[in-house]
Amino acid sequence: MKRKSRMRLKDIVKAEREVLKAGIPTTLEEPLVRMTIPESYEIIEQYAVHPPYAYIIIGKDKLTNEIVYHIIEPRLTPREAELLNLIKDIIVSSIVVYPEEVGENKWRFIEELVERIVSDYGISMTRASLEKIKYYVARDFAGYGRIDPIMRDPWIEDISCDGPGIPIFVFHRKYQSLRTNVVFPEAIELDNFVIRLAQISGRHISVANPLLDTTLPDGSRAQLTLRREVTTRGSTFTIRKFREKPFSPVELIELETASPEMMAYFWILVEYGASAIFAGGTASGKTTSLNAITMFIPPNEKIVSIEDTRELNLPHPNWIPGVTRTGFGGEGKEIDMYDLLRAALRQRPRYIIVGEVRGREAYVMFQAMATGHTTYSTFHAESARALVHRFTQEPMNIPRIMFSSLDTIIIQKFVRIKGRPYRKMAEVVEIAEVDPTTMEILTNNPFIWSPETNEFEYTGKSKVFERFSKMTGISEEAFEEEMMRRTKILKWMLEKGIRDYREVSTAIFTYYNKPEDILEKVFGRAEARAELREKASESV
């Protein structure tokens, strides 16, 4: 049945598109999947990620109490598995597909291709069998193969494969680190999958260069190793999933990462151009919080972001997202964050966002702050003191006097409360001043999270508001009142279910351009007029 010569798709597909010609029924006689797991497991939760083909069951092992992540996909009969391999072989060996034939929906294209092959070759099967085969061919050729259901799961943050024959582990937003029932049984299959991940991201990995950091087509960040060159168990991959819909400030309030008062405080800081660094350990939510507060940037301001791999996602139209580039085979010039940051200063942005500071770009970033560019970044440090210590040591060597250009440090922490994981903005540290004689950095803490009460405490005094007051002539009390006004707006959005980043951004942009529309919805018409008059008199 296998054709020896290769031919164009249009030459092989002469039959009509309907698969009825092959005698395939048009309705399903049986369900595609059966929601079953081993008897030793108790089902905690189940949900669909790609209905009717792929589902997730979170289960608990009754013997060990281990919580596991179980993927349910269609089971293939021996004949269906044979037909699947046959159709894959036909596609690989006999069909030439040109990019213009594929279009934007690769998954749908593969499904149609399978239908046409079945029709053209006169293969007889049930509708359920056809649907199963279409799913697996599309999953492997247009999706992410064995891990495609995991990539579709919005609850998953990280995916980790430690080698062939070892279960894949995931980090679930609700259940943390979980073992899955997904395994790459053979080393060669895992090797090929790692090579494919590199290829679809436009990069190259080989025995000569077995280590690769890259960005997948959906924006997810991947770290790959090939064979046993640098990892003794064989090929590995770790994927930090890209959240296509970033968390909004309202969602972070709902998740108890921050309080409404804190977010209102950041709203004012961002509008008035205060620079900030989000610091914390791995997976503490630094980039998530950074992305959320950038939604407070006024709508038409120019923004330039700089990252090693794309993680930020902003709703602003006047935004230039920059990503570093490694050299290609020793010929292409490597472009690092230092190069991008220097180029950004020549683009005259109002706001500069640096994904994560690690090296010589730190000095340029502090220079940008000193020259009036509002700058946001993330940094690995567990406290403000640790942050200052690391910045002032090799390889960054930032003079302590330059910290006077930095307004705020936000310390993020990953904590567990009654067994549940939370990410908290544990401390907001304002840089009050740097003593020019002793070089001591004086700080103020307007917000602190209390582990004992699980509450965010506001001290009632902001040095940044004091600085804004001197800069604008607006009283500190007016800034405090505006913070309370915006706190009520954020609480109103939470109560009304306005959480999606696009809806939240629209409300924020409306408040900048036509505040009476938002105030009327929050306070009612009469009170909104009073609030608007007060806001106008304060000029905040």
In three-state secondary structure terms, 147 is helix
Q: Over the chain, what is the mean pLDDT?
A: 90
Let me know whether 323 and 202 are in one domain.
no
Whether the Cβ atoms of residue 432 and residue 443 lie closer than 8 Å to each other:
yes
Number of domains present in the structure of the chain: 3
Is the residue at 46 inside a domain? no
Highest mean pLDDT: which range of 77-86, 117-126, 240-249: 77-86
Question: Residue 388: what pLDDT?
Answer: 97
Question: Residue 334: what pLDDT?
Answer: 84
Is the residue at 48 inside a domain? no
Let me know whether 109 and 211 are in one domain.
no
Let me know whether 224 and 80 are in one domain.
no
Instruction: Inform me whether the pLDDT recorded for 77 exceeds 70.
Output: yes
Let me know whether 183 and 159 are in one domain.
yes
| Average of per-residue pLDDT across 182-210 | 96
Question: What pLDDT digit, counting tens, does each position of 268-290 carry?
Answer: 999 999 999 999 998 899 999 99
123 is in which domain, residue-wise?
Answer: 7-32+74-143
Comparing 22-26, 390-394, 401-405, which segment has the lowest mean pLDDT?
22-26
Is the residue at 53 inside a domain? no
Instruction: Inform me whether the pLDDT recorded for 21 exceeds 90.
Output: no
Question: Residue 526: what pLDDT?
Answer: 63
Let me know whether 345 and 399 are in one domain.
yes
Is the residue at 54 inside a domain? no
More confident call, 519 vs 17 = 519
Which residues does 415 contact at the CB level (< 8 Å), separation at least 6?
421, 422, 423, 424, 426, 451
Single residue among 115, 143, 171 that ends a domain in this structure: 143
Question: What pLDDT digit, counting tens, does each position of 318-332 carry?
Answer: 999 998 887 654 456
Is the residue at 422 inside a domain? yes
Burial class (CB in 10 A: 0-12, 13-18, 19+), 210: middle
AA letter at 449: W
Is the residue at 61 inside a domain? no
Let me know whether 330 and 386 are in one domain.
yes
Can you read off the two tokens belonging to residue 123? 């293969």
Single residue among 240, 273, 288 that ends a domain in this structure: 240
Let me know whether 222 and 263 are in one domain.
no
Is the residue at 402 inside a domain? yes
Residue position matching structure tokens 């006169």:
122
Can you read off the two tokens belonging to residue 71? 């993927």
More confident call, 35 vs 461 = 461
Let me know whether 25 and 168 are in one domain.
no
> What is the reported pTM?
0.82
Is the residue at 101 inside a domain? yes
Let me know whether 162 and 15 are in one domain.
no
Whether the Cβ atoms of residue 238 and residue 222 lie closer than 8 Å to each other:
yes
CATH number for 154: 3.30.450.380
Let me know whether 529 and 457 are in one domain.
yes
Let me know whether 137 and 156 are in one domain.
no
Single residue among 143, 159, 185 that ends a domain in this structure: 143
Let me know whether 319 and 357 are in one domain.
yes
Helices (H), 143-206: 148-152, 187-200
The proportion of the chain whose per-residue pLDDT surpasses 90, expressed as a percent, equals 77
Task: Tell me the β-bridge partners of 55.
Answer: 48, 72
Q: What confidence tier does 1 reach under pLDDT thresholds 50, 70, 90?
A: very low
CATH number for 457: 3.40.50.300
More confident call, 240 vs 524 = 240
